[in-house]
Structure 1
């Protein structure tokens, strides 16, 4: 697994470097420099969908639910890991569950909320991508690609339905060995009470259908809020666009990034996607690449502190575990 992750990372770095060389580093740098302090605004805006997604995740818990700030903290760390580390877009989700469990939250329920939240994120991202594809068809006026779009939607729906069915049928009991290997030999499932407990907790969450629907709705709101990042990015780059263009760019940009989950941070793939999508609405390739780099700046600005917070939390927990119990014997001189 580590060798595969290293290969994917090198592939991403090569693609990213090739994109910069193709478009010209100086040209892209000039385009990016126009944004200036606007980069900080884009980074700050990302806290809005981050908070919304954390609320959606929190809804899946039974009462009393964890504090919202605790959920935002855990999701921030999880997103930082998934965005900056070679963890196949899932290591951060495992880590945020571990952190909350270490803080005293019920293990099986926490693991189950993470799994269901991932499922809801995939479903709403797919629907968001469909919206982007519909807008693309309207904006570029090429209905002949509708069949290909419909086929892609059908494949995504089938895969998502299969994942949901496997969850309801005891997915983790059958994948216990694989999950352990994915974790580099660590017993990840032990942190959530074992595979059977996790499967039972997932079934319990799905039985509370109204909560799942509410979480699904808030997840959708989170994707919609993310449109502001593209709109603001292009505004500060000096190329403001309309709402439809911003929706299309964000929706399909996220879909492209999701499809490249095996490459850490979708390095190179995200950049190529934005270059292609920007050209479809009349923007030059340098602007498309600069928009992707605006997102990279945001990832680094929020992600690096997130990784530091993760290491601090892990070391604090390890120190607490290793700290010897105080000696009950009182010694007198």
Structure 2
């Protein structure tokens, strides 16, 4: 973990603790405890968007990878992104590696994960704007000042996401992996020789990425599936709040999920978006008539779901790596 990552994680943790202390950890815990076994059902419900997101990856992958491979890769990658201090980089890297270990050429696996991650971010921006539009058109304003703050936060988060996605897409078109490989070779001197030696493989990934973007049908399919995955996630918010005793309408759940995820996405540099997610829900709470302790309980319910699915995902990832190394013939390189 880099020094920057440590600093961001420390700041996120401090914000997380401060928000809990400000609202009263006991009151938040009591609200969350009201959900009881409902939290298990919330975790189970998340399997639906997980399956849809895996389908968004699968449409980009040529055989021999199967949908089951894409689903397991998505599960493992999401577990890493949620629970390990690797920002949002570790998950995609491990997803590509997982697919490569199951027969997909590495350049195709890395390209599929790169493109699907980009399209998922674009779909997230569209989802946030849809939530704002629907709320503005149909909702009854509960707090004018809170609604104004909401618009500023949502637009700010969307701009940050859009700039990051645009920069990432531009870098892909300019040969992101090949350039990074050669730069690393120069920066690390003798140790970088091994890195720069893999430049041809990195160039193959860049070409595979550009080739995928030319497959307009697949790009449209992965965008549409990613968008559906975000929409399905509304049910997680609706069920979580119903179980903790603070039910909201589907329109309010749409706003909480769409703008809340946009705020979390804009804080992608903070591991697990710790603190940012909680602050986002507190900002949205007065707009939908939700109490602060219920807003924090909602965030903690999502954190509990991440633990419930993420810890088994990390165990599976560890077992998968050990199994692959055991089956791998000595000296046999990873699929390329």
Q: TM-score, normalised by structure 1?
A: 0.87
Residue in 2 that maps onto 1:291: 298
Bigger mean CA offset, 19-28 vs 76-85: 19-28
Q: Paired residue for 1:37?
A: 37
Q: How does 1:53-64 map to 2 (within 5 A)?
A: 53-62=53-62, 64=63
Matched, 1:264 2:252: no
Q: Deviations over 1:47-78 (max 9, x none)?
A: 0000001001110123x352211111111000
Determine the C-alpha separation between the residues in 2 that align with 1:324 and 1:192.
Answer: 20
- SS of the residue aligned with 2:86? coil
For residues 72 and 282 of structure 1, what CA distance do their matches in structure 2 show? 37
Distance in 2, Cα, partners of 1:185 & 1:16: 38
Displacement, 1:257? Answer: 0.8
Residue 46 (str. 1) matches residue 43 (str. 2)? no
Instruction: Output the CA distance in 2 between the equivalents of 1:111 and 1:277.
Output: 36
Deviating more after overlay: 40-49 vs 199-208: 199-208
Cα distance between partner residues in 2 of 1:191 and 1:246: 47
Question: What is the deviation of 1:312?
Answer: 1.4
1:191 to 1:216, Cα distance in 2 relative to 1, 3 A: farther
Structure 2 residue 171 is matched with structure 1 residue 171: no
Describe the shift of the 1:18–1:53 C-alpha distance in structure 2 as closer, same or farther (beyond 3 A): same
Q: 1:154 to 1:102 in 2, by over 3 A?
A: closer
C-alpha distance 65-133 of structure 1, shift in aligned 2 (>3 A): farther
Q: Are the structure 2 counterparts of residues 108 and 31 from structure 1 closer, same or farther at C-alpha, using a change threshold of 3 Å?
A: same
**2:115 counterpart of 1:108:** no
Shift of 1:286: 0.2
Correspondent of 1:160 among 150, 158, 165: 165
Residue 161 of structure 2 contacts residue 266 of structure 2 at CA under 8 Å; is this kept in 1? Answer: no
Distance 1:314 1:176, change over 3 A: same
**How big is each residue's C-alpha offset from its partner over 1:156-183, in whole Å with a ceiling of 9 and x where there is no partner?**
54553443233223222222256789xx
Contact kept, 8 Å, 2:178 with 2:199, in 1: the verdict is: no
Matching of residue 255 in structure 1 with residue 287 in structure 2: no
Structure 1: tracts of 5 or more residues without a match: 326-333
Shift, 1:244, TM fit:
1.0
Q: Which runs of 5+ in 2 are unaligned?
A: none
1:275 is the counterpart of 2:274: no
Secondary structure of the corresponding residue to residue 172 of structure 1: helix
- Note the alpha carbon deviations across 1:75-133, whole angstroms, 9 max, x for none: 10000000011111111110111122122211111110011001101100011111223
Q: Using structure 2 for the length normalisation, give the TM-score.
A: 0.86
CA distance in 1, matches of 2:225, 2:198: 28
Conserved 8 A contact 2:238-2:253: yes
Post-superposition Cα deviations, 1:22-52, rounded to whole Å, max 9, x if no partner, equal 1111111110111111101100010000000
Distance 1:170 1:4 in 2: 25
Matched positions, count? 322
How has the CA–CA distance of structure 1 residues 30 and 185 changed in structure 2, closer, same or farther, with 3 Å as cutoff?
farther
* C-alpha contact 1:110 1:192 (8 A) present in aligned 2: no
1:4 positional shift: 2.1
Query: Secondary structure in 2 aligned to 1:194?
Result: helix
Which residue of the partner structure matches residue 92 of structure 2? Answer: 93
Quote the Cα distance in structure 2 between the aligned partners of 1:179 and 1:224: 39
Deviation per residue, 1:197-225 (Å, 9 max, x gap): 01110111111111111111111111100
For the Cα contact (< 8 Å) 2:182–2:195, is it kept in 1? Answer: no
